[in-house]
Structure 1
Amino acid sequence: MSYIRCRHLSVGYGGKAVAKDLSFDLNPGDYLCLVGMNGAGKSTLMKTLLGLLDPVSGEIEIGDGLKSEEIGYLPQQSAHQKNFPATVWEVAMSGTAVKNRRLFYSREAKDRCEERLRQVGMWDMRKSSYRNLSGGQKQRTLLARALCAASKVLILDEPVAGLDPAARNQLYQITGDLHAAGVAIMMITHDLKAMEYAGYVLHVGRKQHFFGTREDYQKSLYWKTLQAWEEEAMDL
């Protein structure tokens, strides 16, 4: 059974849809890339799936026993996040709050945080100030935070934006390892390299959408349109 099943879903703000009639599934073991031009409604869709926004219309079904505390979310980095006055350990540990809901962290929560920091290669920097990290190190710390909350699904919004090629490749390797370990991945991205990892693609367009395998997507006109748009954006 699907973790997330959407049928004829429209998402937006104040009852006004920015993306309409979306139908797709996220199943256990999937790696789904969510692509499309700026303003198509990708981030709005993510926030709707997370329960941060109400659907304008259509259906969202959560299945296979998936609970909200089993979903980790890595949003786009903001200026506030980049200067957060805390250590790597404190930032990552805050991700366990959703699972524990206690005043003090349990031994289990601390062990989980250590495991996640080691997993993303940030354990040796756990005492470092978050605000002094490089862009890639900050993103890996935030990924550890999201993983402290996630056990089944990880949702990422432009996780490699602003990263240098080495940091970008490292983050893709980490998410690939997580996927291999059984975590379902759903990622918004403008980086075409992400397609190497995807099993499925959801292309959100202004009027038409595509959902299917990566192989079928890369044979479609949607893929050619996206390539042309990304190349034009890089030249600006």
Structure 2
Amino acid sequence: GYLPQQTQAQRDFPATVREVVLSGCLNGSKGPFYSRADRSLANKNMEKLSITNIANRSYRELSGGQQQRVLLARALCAAKELLLLDEPVTGLDPVVTAEFYRLIKKLNRDSGIAVIMVSHDIECAVENANKILHLGSRGVEFFGTTEDYLKSDAGRRFAGRGRSDV
């Protein structure tokens, strides 16, 4: 499943939460209607993300954090083993950001879904990831565990916390 950066057009999309989540089931489906299994999967993912209580609300009326949960539920409908998140916390306040990261960790731990996240927030990446791929203008600058990243040249330059003598 893929969770892209949101555009204004997406934020203003005139659909219910349920319709947006169900749209994640469209990958490879045949026919114009959702199956019972599709609806069940959408409901399960809405429950998992605690958004069943807003299932009939308009997507565009939601807060940024609620919209991200809806889009994550949609991505989960399309995902079997992998979630690709592109700057998923852009525009979210610090409290909602922390909650979103906790949710991603829980999905990874409990559902076994691998998560690849694009982020420019090194501090949050270091706090929430178990592996870091640091890309620079010359390509891969580092790939490995968070602990090793903090000891690397790239980690010391960007995170400012690592020491090579640790």
Partner Cα separation in structure 1 for residue 124 and residue 137 of structure 2: 23
In the alignment, structure 1 segments of 5+ residues that lack a partner are 1-71, 229-236
Root mean square deviation of aligned Cα: 1.3
In the other structure, the counterpart of 1:184 is: 114
Aligned counterparts of 2:28 and 2:108: Cα–Cα separation in 1: 21
The corresponding residue for 2:3 is: 74
Question: After the TM superposition, which residues 164-179 of structure 1 pair with which residues of structure 2 at under 5 Å, given as runs?
Answer: 164-179=93-108
| 8 A contact 2:150–2:159 mirrored in 1 | no
From 138, 146, 150, give the equivalent of 1:214: 146
Give the aligned residue type for 2:8.
Answer: A
CA distance in 2, matches of 1:194, 1:214: 9
> Structure with the greater relative contact order (CA < 8 A, sep ≥ 6): 1 or 2?
1
Cα distance, 1:99 vs structure 2: 4.5
The whole-number CA distance in structure 1 between the counterparts of 2:137 and 2:8 is 29
Q: Alpha-carbon deviation of 1:90? A: 0.5
1:124 and 2:50 equivalent? no
The 3 A distance-change label for structure 1 pair 99 and 118 is farther
Name stretches of at least 5 consecutive residues in structure 2 with no aligned partner.
161-166
Deviates more, 1:151-160 or 1:166-175: 166-175
Per residue, is there more strand in 1 or in 2?
1
Structure 2 counterpart of 1:224, from 141, 156, 163: 156
With normalisation by structure 1, the TM-score equals 0.64
Q: Aligned partners of 2:149, 2:66: CA distance in 1, in Å? A: 32
2:163 corresponds to: none
Match of 2:85 in 1: 156
1:25-174 matched pairs, under 5 angstroms? 72-174=1-103
